[in-house]
Amino acid sequence: MAHPRWYVGNFSEGYHQVSQAIKYSLVDLNKFLDSFDEPIPNRCVIRPTATYAAFLDASYHPKYLVSHKTRSSLFDRLGSPPACPHEIGKQALEVERIALLDGDIPYFTDGILSNLMASEDNNNIKANNMSDFMTVPSATLKIFGSLPFNVINYIQNGAFAGIDSEVWDTRYDGDIKPFFSINFQSNSWLNILYDLTLQAYKLVVWDKVNSSASMYMQIVGADHRIQTVPMNAIYYEGQGILWLFHEASSEKGDADYAALLTAMLRALVDSPKYISDEPVSGFIGSFSQIRLVPLARQYLGDEIAKNLMATLIKWVCERMDKPNEIENLKVDYVTGLSGALAALGMLEGSSDSEVYYLRDRVHAVVINSLVKGELEDTYGIAHGPLGLMLGLVLGGRPLTDVEQQKLRILVYQRVEKELKGVEMQDVASKHAWCSGISGIAEAFAYVLNATGGLEEQDYKQLIELYDQFQHDIASLKGPTDFSLCHGLGGALSAWYRISCLLPELNLAEKVRGEAAQLRQRLCDGELEIRGGVRHATSSLGMMLGMSGVVLALNRIENGQEFTSFLSF
């Protein structure tokens, strides 16, 4: 079955040719638009056309062709268009349903929408969809071609990408090329980092007036479709790009990268905005910007860094003050308060009382959830009890002797249970940081270290687990997930983080050797980084994309410490 991604190259080439023709004909096109006496109705898109296509495709399945009523009920499941008032949404849905029943893609214009809306709203629709037909294209044509073609190409790549799981399922298809070209013939992960940074630099869009800059990035949406969106400052996603430019700037002393990073940070953190019901975490959501405080201080100044930290802490405190709000907040490591607690631990040098106040409040919620066994049925460091324990020891308040003893017993019990649970999984899943052995080992080592230290049998168990990891990944062939969350990059990072707790085992040197070995296997074609957003090659995101991979493996290979952006 053909997939749209097979044709993105043809589409981009066709777009390039047409755009060149438009640029050569701008004067004639503007004259043509000026020749109309009356405005031409403009289409109003209220829902992605791909959504209509998906519903139409499903409607031809035999189970929906049994009757007109059954097919009609399928289209009713579209629901009201997003962000549409209830009454208008009901009427718009009816227009959509009728068109789809006839096998057509719904097509809204001002004339159709006029009948759905009250007069005062209708005036707004006219202003945006008909009467401005002349001015908007004319203004657009004047700046046509100002956006670099490779930026447009990246947007098109995301538009054709489709559903995330399909991207990974088709990873063996050689016709579907990853967007970023990674040269593994380089003799170090540092050179690979430079190469990727240069490709990212070419995707930057500058706002010279406001001395700011941004770029587009690919993420996985709530419907599992790959989306191309403006870069955000969330750690899990957009921060990887910022840290990529910082690392390249620091290593090369490149003033251009430093200026770019300053402009990008200014656009993201100078006036942060927050969504009231989003998660509070050190990985996702606005609070994860707390991990940008060191960058903000270095590139924007101490005042902006302090303001960013104070604003984020105040926002979380206000959320926790709301009635019943604490019950609505997640507590796990990646999407909840445990990860936020670890992020606060990164600010340990801060003497601000607000930091300690929030730390103690979050600590109380996390430890209460652990005692109540709220995540007992979930395995892995990302969303299970081990993540709660890790957050407590990385960023929580000092534990009493009794609390340490209880936590120590609990981590032994939980690790034994989870190791048995992952034993029968495939190699990639077994060693994933988020749900596998590497994350389990990280929590195990840090919790024991914080509650009395590791004993001889603990060292033995950890080194046996690492030896198993080395043995298992040697069997991997072909397209492989390298992401920090699910892949080999995250697994190696976890082992590298705990190597400082096991100095006599020479673990750091073993992990460094493995990073170099993986690079060589990629160079030889034995392994291949392939896939979409979730599997690194079309995204620059931190946890699921390529930036996190090269940032971590470069530091590991060079024996550098993990700084704040990789320290947990």
> Does the pLDDT at position 129 exceed 60?
no
Residues sharing a CB contact under 8 Å with residue 283, sequence separation 6 or more, in sequence order: 235, 236, 333, 334, 335, 339, 543
Of the candidate ranges 123-132, 178-187, 404-413, the one whose mean pLDDT is the lowest: 123-132
Rg (Cα) of the chain, in Å, rounded?
26
- pLDDT, residue 131, reads 43
Give the DSSP H/E element, type plus range, for residue 32: helix 26-34
- Residue 434 known to bind ligand: yes
Cα–Cα distance measured from residue 279 to residue 291, given in angstroms and rounded to the nearest whole number? 15
Mean pLDDT of 389-395: 96
Compute the C-alpha angle 259/265/271, nearest 5°: 140
Give alpha helix (H) positions in 322-400.
325-328, 337-346, 353-372, 385-395
pLDDT digits (tens, 9 = 90+) for 149-196: 889 988 888 888 777 666 666 666 666 667 888 888 888 999 999 999
In angstroms, the CA 454 to CA 458 distance is 6
* Measured CA distances, 435 to 167, 273, 418, 419, 486 (Å): 21, 32, 9, 10, 8
- The Cα–Cα gap between 205 and 200 comes to 11
Our measurement of the distance from residue 421's CA atom to the centroid of its chain's CA atoms, rounded to an integer in Å, reads 28
What CA–CA distances, in Å, run from 393 to 362, 389, 408, 453, 493? 13, 7, 11, 12, 19
Residue pLDDT, tens place only, 350-385: 567 888 999 999 999 999 999 999 999 999 999 999
229 pLDDT higher than 90: no
Residue 240 has pLDDT above 90, yes or no: yes
Per-residue confidence (pLDDT) for residue 270, from 0 to 100: 64
**486 annotated to a ligand binding site:** yes
Q: Are 418 and 396 in contact (CB under 8 A)?
A: no
How far is it, in rounded angstroms, from Cα 396 to Cα 367? 9
Q: Give the model's pLDDT for residue 122.
A: 44
Nearest by Cα to 242 from 200, 290, 212, 195: 200
Tens-digit pLDDT profile for residues 278-315: 889 999 999 999 999 999 999 999 999 999 999 999 99
Give the pLDDT of residue 107.
75
CA 391, chain centre distance (Å): 21
The residue-averaged pLDDT of 206-230 equals 83
Residue 110: predicted pLDDT:
53
Q: What SS3 class is residue 536?
A: strand
CA distances, 54 to each of 101, 451, 542 (Å): 13, 54, 31
For the stretch 79-113, pLDDT in tens is 887 766 677 778 888 888 888 998 888 877 655 55
Q: Give pLDDT, residue 119.
A: 41
Compute the distance between CA of residue 102 and CA of residue 80 in angstroms, rounded to an integer. 19
Residue 520 identity (one-letter amino acid): Q
The 3-class SS string of 290-346 reads HHHHHHHHHHHCHHHHHHHHHHHHHHHHHHHHCCCHHHHCCCCCCCCHHHHHHHHHH
- What confidence tens digit (pLDDT) does each residue in 246-284 have? 999 988 888 889 999 999 999 888 666 666 678 899 999
pLDDT surpassing 90 at residue 453: yes
Across all residues in the chain, what is the average pLDDT?
Answer: 85
485 among annotated binding-site residues: yes
Q: How many CA atoms lie within 13 A of 30 on its CB side?
A: 14
Task: Sketch the domain layout of the chain as residue ranges.
Answer: 38-143, 399-567
